[in-house]
């Protein structure tokens, strides 16, 4: 919500028509200035893990997901490069914890 505080929300209830969405980032702007960015995590329809181990193949890597969502906060959009942290989808067990060439090029373009 627009309250001036940037938050990460862990939500156990999610819209049924958006159940494939792992997370959603909303950025609020005034002119060219971000005054709030909220990230919502879909904990109703997904399981998440951190680190490595047996859970890796049955859940979404939280570090990869958050790097992707912070990319949205910085103004990056989805792209089709499979190794990119900004790729549209993140399959269970996939780790994308390092920005790729496409990500770095996009950041240079933004900033």
Whether the model clears a pTM of 0.85, i.e. scores above it, the answer is yes
Structural contact between residues 41 and 8, judged by C-beta atoms closer than 8 angstroms: yes
Q: What pLDDT does residue 51 have?
A: 77
Report the percentage of the chain scoring pLDDT > 90: 76
Rounded-to-10 torsion of CA 18, 29, 4, 50: 50
Rounded Cα gap, residues 16 and 106, in angstroms: 32
Q: Say what the pLDDT of residue 56 is.
A: 63
Q: How far apart are CA 10 and CA 100, in angstroms?
A: 27
Task: Please check whether residue 41 is in contact with residue 72, taking contact to mean a CB–CB distance below 8 angstroms.
Answer: no
Residue 18 confidence class, pLDDT cut points 50, 70, 90: very high
């Amino acid at each position: 919500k627009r309250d001036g505080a940037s938050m990460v929300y862990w939500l156990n209830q999610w819209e049924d028509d958006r159940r494939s969405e792992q997370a959603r980032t909303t950025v609020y702007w005034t002119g060219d200035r971000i005054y709030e960015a909220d990230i919502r995590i879909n904990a109703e329809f997904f399981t998440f893990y951190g680190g490595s181990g047996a859970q890796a193949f049955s859940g979404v890597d939280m570090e990869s997901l958050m790097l992707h969502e912070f990319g949205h906060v910085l103004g990056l959009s989805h792209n089709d490069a499979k190794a990119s942290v900004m790729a549209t989808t993140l399959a269970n067990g996939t780790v994308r914890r390092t920005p790729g060439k496409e990500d770095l090029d996009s950041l240079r373009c933004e900033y």
